[in-house]
Structure 1
Amino acid sequence: MRFKKELDFVHLSKFFYVFSIVLTIMGLVFLAFLGLNYSVDFKAGSNVDTALSKNVTVEEVRSAIGGVGVPHEPSITMGEKRINIRYEQELNDNQSEALKAAITKLDDKASFEINTVDTEMAKELAKNAIYAVLISCLGIIVYVSIRFEWRFAVAAIVALMHDAFMVVAIFSIFRLEVDLTFIIAVLTIIGYSINDTIVIFDRIRENLRFGKQKTYEDLKVLVNKSVSQTLLRSIYTAFTVFIAAFFLLVLGGESIKMFSLAMVIGLLFGAYSSIFIASPLWLLLKKRQKPAVNNNPAKV
């Protein structure tokens, strides 16, 4: 499906470029000075997830666990009949048992899950998370370069890195907690982003084969036409996945809240990056290949 009147997506992309550049600069500033708000998954400490049979207040929880013997105040997150308590230091066996006993006084039907991460394990998890993102990006570059051409690969990797970094920037700016589910969300967003981008690139390549592009304006018209032909498909796909992620955020448990939020943010940015970032960037790279465009327009 396509719109009867094609929009000038290449021209509109200038506004999205400005928006993305501004947000990127803000994200870099916050990352440089404040970094990310890592959860206990990426730093030494203990995470206590408790399921209750009734709701309690934060004040009741703090008062109950005050005599556990841990010198630093924990961060407490309340959910529907759930408590999540995070300590920046590892709890020993005595402290863990004292904590369980204190909360059991509030609710004798409480159940516990205590996860402890030491310093070395935290560093290893952070390093492996970075490797996972880099390796996935490298694999995408190789695939797109073979399947299409290097200009498509460059444009695709810029678009997916844009989507991933926008999520990281938002989490840094608003000091949202980064845990292991956040990394899973970023990798999922990368996969979604490249899938949507490949659909548009495939249509551009198909139109190149049957068109006669002699000038930059011809290529611009071709890009606008290709995006227009795939736009409804992109919108429907993005909206469907967004609805699922949104209801996971609203109705899901505390343990997947950051995953759901990262997905929602990533899908919003991914919805426009394939259209207004990747395709115009390919056009810009192709513009510098004037002899190839003029002599053999069908070659991609």
Structure 2
Amino acid sequence: MNFKKEIDFVHISKYFYTVSIILTIVGIICLSVFGLNFGVDFRAGSNVDITLSKSLTQNEVQPILKKIGIDEGTSITPGEKRMNIRFTEVLNEEHDHQLRAEIQKLDSTASFEVNTVDTEMAKELGKNAIYAVLLSCIGIIIYVSIRFEWRFALAAILSLIHDAFLVVTVFSVFRLEVDLIFITAVLTIIGYSINDTIVIFDRIRENLRFAKLKTNEDLVVLVNKSVNQMLKRSIYTALTVFIAALFLYLFGGESIKMFSFAMVIGLVFGAYSTIFIASPFWFFLKSKEKNKKIGKTS
């Protein structure tokens, strides 16, 4: 990939900001209307993972649940020699034994893994997940402010919130399950995105040391030059991790499928925000400072 002509990221960023604002508004509407499809980790209920010697269909299992009397609000997700059954209520011991017995009539070698979360535990897990994301963002603000300056920190956090929110929006629109694995994916995306952003910010700071900035146009040239210098590195790094995550999604097990999918879309948003959101926003903040200084000296 050979970029012979430098791209003017600062001036074209307004188009990407428009796209991001539209996506954010759509996301807010979707979250308000649909909410999130919380997994058993964040709401009371039981989750039953069944390992089978042959594949069973939903039509074969649904009558069993109806017979036992536990089909209300139940979702069945069949897979290759696997099946997941999620109950919105905690599965009691009697129903657990009946379910195992009925499934084993269809497949005698079936093995079961039952995860149960009560109401209090679900609330606690939900709060801890929010705290984990907030603390990571606060830690990033402190780290970037110390290593660089507060403008870099604000630009980095805007980029990270943008990435995390759009991933959440995708999961809301397509009604994908949000569980602790999803939170792990979001934190991983935040970690990857801040690393990519820091690399470009480091180049901006390095170029800033030797630059003689007299006008905003000089600052535009500096930001564009810095991003263009690191563009190939950002794209190649994102592409490498993206391919790995994509193959994990396509060929990995059911247990990591949603993690891999969140990583795939998060990597795309992360590369996009690093290049088109973070650096231009830092330019916006820095140009405001320069304009104030010019106003004082004039």
Same fold (TM over 0.5): yes
Query: In structure 1, what is the Cα distance between the partners aligned to 2:194 and 2:125?
Result: 25
* Superposed CA offset, 1:76-95 (max 9, x none): 00111000000000011111
Q: CA deviation at 1:293?
A: 7.0
Query: SS in structure 1 opposite 2:41?
Result: helix
Q: CA deviation at 1:73?
A: 4.4
Q: CA deviation at 1:69?
A: 2.9
TM-score by length of 2: 0.96
Unpaired runs of 5+ residues, structure 1, are 296-300
1:66 aligns with 2:69: no
1:38 aligned residue? 38
- Relative to structure 1, the CA distance from residue 59 to residue 291 in structure 2 (aligned partners, 3 Å threshold; closer, same or farther) is closer
Query: In structure 2, what is the Cα distance between the partners aligned to 1:56 and 1:289?
Result: 64
* Superposed CA offset, 1:208-255 (max 9, x none): 101111111110011110000000100111001101111111111112
Query: SS in structure 2 opposite 1:267?
Result: helix
Query: In structure 1, what is the Cα distance between the partners aligned to 2:291 and 2:15?
Result: 29
Q: CA deviation at 1:291?
A: 6.0
Root mean square deviation, CA, Å: 1.6
1:130 aligns with 2:130: yes
* Superposed CA offset, 1:72-117 (max 9, x none): 1410001110000000000111110111111101100101000111
Partner amino acid, structure 1, of 2:46: S
1:145 aligned residue? 145
1:154 aligned residue? 154
Any conservation in 2 of the 1:9–1:224 contact (CA below 8 Å)? yes
Any conservation in 2 of the 1:3–1:229 contact (CA below 8 Å)? no
Identity over the aligned pairs, expressed in percent?
Answer: 68
Any conservation in 1 of the 2:43–2:117 contact (CA below 8 Å)? yes
Query: In structure 2, what is the Cα distance between the partners aligned to 1:270 and 1:130?
Result: 20
Partner amino acid, structure 2, of 1:167: V
| Structural mapping, 1:110-129, within 5 Å | 110-129=110-129
Query: In structure 1, what is the Cα distance between the partners aligned to 2:73 and 2:239?
Result: 42
Query: SS in structure 2 opposite 1:242?
Result: helix
TM-score by length of 1: 0.95
Unpaired runs of 5+ residues, structure 2, are none
Q: CA deviation at 1:65?
A: 3.1
1:261 aligned residue? 261
Higher alpha-carbon deviation: 167-176 or 190-199: 167-176
1:171 aligns with 2:176: no
2:246 aligned residue? 246
Query: In structure 2, what is the Cα distance between the partners aligned to 1:125 and 1:232?
Result: 40
Query: In structure 2, what is the Cα distance between the partners aligned to 1:57 and 1:172?
Result: 26
| Structural mapping, 1:192-271, within 5 Å | 192-271=192-271
Any conservation in 2 of the 1:213–1:293 contact (CA below 8 Å)? no
1:298 aligned residue? none
